[in-house]
Amino acid sequence: MDRKIVIPGQLLSDKEKMAGPGTYVKDGKVYSLLYGIANVKNKVSVVPFSGKYYPSRKDFIIGTVIDVTPSNWIMETGSPYDGLLHVSEYPKRVDSSEMRKCMSIGDCVIVRIKDVSKSMKVELTMREPGSRVLTKGRIIDVVPAKVPRVIGHSGSMVSILKKESNCDVFVGKNGRIWINGKSDDMDHLAAAIEMIERESHISGLTDKIGRFLRNEPEEVAESDADELIEEERSTLPAKEDNVTEETCRKVDALLDDEVDEA
Amino acid sequence: MSDKPEKFIDENGIRLDGRRVDEIRPMTVEMGVLTRADGSCYLEWGNNKVLAAVYGPRELHPRRLQRPGEALVRYRYNMAAFSVEDRIRPGPSRRSTEISKVSGEAFEPVVMKQFYPSAVIDVFAEVLQADAGTRTAAINAATLALVDAGIPMKGLVAACAVGKVDGQLVLDLNKPEDNYGDADLPIAMTEDGDITLLQMDGNLTVEEVNKGIEMVREGCEQIFAIQKAALLERFGTAEEEEVLEDAELQAELMSEEEEVSEAAEEEDAVEESEDLEAAETEDPEDVEVEEAEAMFEEDVTEFEVNEEEAEEEAAEVNEEDIASEPEGEESTEEEGEKYEQ
């Protein structure tokens, strides 16, 4: 698979049939529509660097209720279009007058996009396992383009985040991440997510985040005595690793010198 | 008016600021300077300093301005009160309203508005320091800000002016040339050379206009090169690995979605919500069972049992039981609802 950075209007292919998402065809040639990375497989597609969330069917997102009408909850979705959640899409039967008791303005909800019409009417549903009103925890915003980063290869990053921080994590496709756990843990996790967004170019990021979540010095200082010992214990092997790495490097250097001399 | 120079071009064909007649002023650009904006660009072109910000696509209010089939591109050109020697009165003026209108239309053929029906893309171009040719500088900055915001576009737009001083055509006028010259002809064009903005101040013959357009074409080629270099450098070298990795993940996610999108819907029944992404890589066997189950609205795991290995089977049956319970409840509720309606 071939990849490169492309800009809008850049020629991608001479074959019209190669046109995939993020491209357009003019005079039988394929050009890029977006600023991003072009992937060439049997088709050319461009994945953008930035941009708003574009609602698509079956996505799980985190929405915020912004209005309650007699039969709908209107939700802000992080895209240019508000989502509509009809009463019948709520898991339980709710009377029109009772709607505000279930979800009121400002409530955050994990919802799934049921359908998106051509005129961008976004229909939501809560009749899905996992869909629920969020009453605890925090919501962190990341750029929607970074969502795959936070998830990682087949969910590796998310599982590290969950395991190491003892927090519940849910990543919405619209770039909203819900976390829930102890206050300190959440602070720590929020910092880790910020780090993913900021330092996503570092290779082996998943390991780095894992290490960050395990033994940050501040965390040791704040946590209570029992945890402190545990934290220290987990810190020690990491230090040893560093030492061995360094010694290895020195040994390598020495060996190189010897080879040079020889 | 006393500071009008006697000669704009010396005997060697060099202009007041040391340029040749077909040379543009040096241009530097920086993208992503505003963190709160969806896309931004700071551009310096000679002594012009322009800041462009793009917000959107976002919801358009009031609703009557919404266009059902496409997005609205709102362009606002504004000069800061301190951008010129004599303070200019802040707020929209006749001049800035006009420039806003024509500059916004300069992006008409490139921005894919049909992707975002009834939304709005707001472009703000703020002139911080003016030194002739601010509308063209603003357009050059706005193009990059739009690209930075991830707006789908067919290509870039560049703008440059040509004018006439001392009876000679010159590219990219500077302040004295603009103030005391005989004509000013700002032009914006797409990469294909289609002209999207053309205004004229002063007098030019038909031949001069045609020659001027050709000169602008040359100038815009240089500007496109600067814009492209800025775009390609932004994620160059150090971060290249990151963006490629990102693309890989994105592509992986997309292909996963395609393959398992149908399956995932069913699968989620047995998964905790937090495990959604992980769930997409689950055993297809489970899916089959669940699909069948959904079809018959009853537990069909019994029929599958023979094919399964003993251990897996036990675990699955348990999961199915758990999953089917709430489903059963739901369906009865649904029926009840229909009755009442």
Residues A206-259: tens digit of each pLDDT: 888 888 888 654 443 344 444 444 444 444 444 444 444 555 455 555 555 544
- Closest-CA distance, A120 to chain B, in angstroms, reads 7
Contacts of A113 (CB under 8 A, 6+ apart): A55, A56, A57, A58, A59, A61, A83, A122, A123, A124, A125
Contact status of A132 with chain B (Cβ, < 8 Å): yes
Question: DSSP secondary structure string, chain A?
Answer: -EEEEE-TT-EEES-GGGB-TTEEEETTEEEE-SSEEEEESSSEEEEESS------TT-EEEEEEEEE-SSEEEEE-SSSS-EEEEGGGSSS---GGGHHHHS-TT-EEEEEEEEE-TT-PEEEE--STT-EEE-SSEEEE--GGGHHHHH-GGGHHHHHHHHHHT-EEEE-TTSEEEEES-HHHHHHHHHHHHHHHHSTTSTTHHHHHHHHHH--HHHHHHS-HHHHHHHHHHHHHHHHHHHHHHHHHHHHHHHHHHHHH-
A7, A32, A87, A96: best to mutate for the B interface, most B CBs within 10 A = A7
Structural contact between residues B270 and A144, judged by C-beta atoms closer than 8 angstroms: no
Note if the bond before A217 is cis, omega within 30 degrees: no
Residue A114's nearest CA partner among A91, A134, A86, A92 is A86
pLDDT in tens, chain A (262 residues): 567 889 999 999 999 999 998 999 999 999 999 998 888 888 898 888 888 999 999 999 999 999 999 999 999 999 999 999 999 999 999 999 999 999 999 999 999 999 999 889 999 999 999 999 999 999 999 988 888 888 888 888 899 899 888 899 999 999 999 999 999 999 989 998 988 887 765 667 788 888 888 865 444 334 444 444 444 444 444 444 444 455 545 555 555 554 444 4
Which residues lie across from A124 on neighbouring strands? Answer: A85, A113
Tokens of A93: 């039967």
pLDDT in the model for residue A117: 93
ipTM for the whole complex: 0.73
**Tens-digit pLDDT profile for residues B164-195:** 999 999 999 999 999 999 999 999 999 999 99
The residue whose two tokens read 């814009």 is B227
Query: What are the CA-CA distances from residue A128 to residues A89, A154, A240, B256, B271 (Å)?
Result: 9, 22, 47, 20, 11
Q: What residues of B are in contact with residue A9 (Cβ under 8 Å)?
A: 110, 153-156, 191
The residue whose two tokens read 């009840």 is B336
Q: Counting Cβ atoms within 10 Å, is residue A197 exposed (0-12), middle (13-18) or buried (19+)? A: middle
- Closest-CA distance, B153 to chain A, in angstroms, reads 5
pLDDT in the model for residue B316: 45
Is residue B238 over pLDDT 60? Answer: no
Is residue B327 over pLDDT 60? Answer: no
What is the sign, positive or negative, of the torsion defined by CA atoms of A94, A98, A103, A104? positive
Tokens of A21: 């998402």
Helix axes B134-148, B206-234, angle to 10 degrees: 30
Contact status of A169 with chain B (Cβ, < 8 Å): yes
Contact call for B56 and A80, based on CB within 8 A: yes
Of A231 and B135, the one with more pLDDT: B135
The residue whose two tokens read 């919802």 is A111
Q: Which residue of B has its CA nearest to A46?
A: B247
Distance CA A64, CA A82 (A): 10
3-class secondary structure per residue, A90-105: CCCCCCHHHHHHHCCC
CB atoms within 10 A of CB B54: 27
Helix axes B134-148, B94-105, angle to 10 degrees: 50
Contact status of B259 with chain A (Cβ, < 8 Å): no
Distance CA B184, CA B171 (A): 10
Distance CA B76, CA B96 (A): 8
Distance CA B54, CA B234 (A): 18
DSSP assigned state of B266: H
Distance CA B75, CA B94 (A): 15
The residue whose two tokens read 């045609």 is B210
Contacts of B25 (CB under 8 A, 6+ apart): B17, B19, B45, B46, B48, B172, B174
Q: What residues of B are in contact with residue A170 (Cβ under 8 Å)?
A: 273-274, 276
**Tens-digit pLDDT profile for residues B10-66:** 999 999 999 999 999 999 999 999 999 999 999 999 999 999 999 989 999 899 999
Distance CA A61, CA A111 (A): 6
pLDDT in the model for residue A41: 82
Residue B119's nearest CA partner among A80, A155, A222 is A80
Q: Which domains does chain A have, with CATH numbers?
A: 2-48 (2.40.50.100), 60-134 (2.40.50.140), 138-218 (3.30.1370.10)
Q: What residues of B are in contact with residue A155 (Cβ under 8 Å)?
A: 275, 277-278, 281
Structural contact between residues B123 and B93, judged by C-beta atoms closer than 8 angstroms: no
Contact status of A158 with chain B (Cβ, < 8 Å): yes
